Amino acid sequence: MSGDAWFPGGFNLGFYKNPVVDRLLREARTITDKQARTERYQQAQKLIMEDAPWVVVNHETQIVAMDRRIKNFVIHPTGVFRFAPVTTAE
């Protein structure tokens, strides 16, 4: 939710901008230490929630048909299907 990602160049369709959040997100993208990166993202999330740039009023329920032969398919929380680890059993 970076101010750097305003539409049309990004997916910040709510046009949310907070310079501190933007700094934390930029820092987190460049840090290789997992704990330090996680701390930056958590700080950014806290600030975003304090700013309350939108109100969530709906959510999607994912419906996925499965077959017992399909292995390693996991529904991702963002709704994006990731098929790289998927295999089928004969």
Three-class DSSP category at 56: coil
Q: How far is CA 54 from CA 22, 46, 65, 82, in A?
A: 17, 14, 32, 28
For the chain, first and last CA: distance in Å? 43
Name the residue ranges covered by the structural domains of the chain.
3-51
Q: What is the mean pLDDT of residues 49-67?
A: 78
| Mean pLDDT, range 44-56, rounded to an integer | 86
Residue 84 or 3, more confident: 84
pLDDT band at 34 (very low <50, low <70, confident <90, very high): very high
Answer whether residue 27 shows pLDDT above 90.
yes
Q: What is the pLDDT of residue 58?
A: 67
Tell me the residue type at 55.
V
> Angle at Cα 5 formed by Cα 85 and Cα 9, nearest 5°?
90
pLDDT of 76 higher than 80:
no
Q: How far from chain centre, in Å, is Cα 37?
A: 14
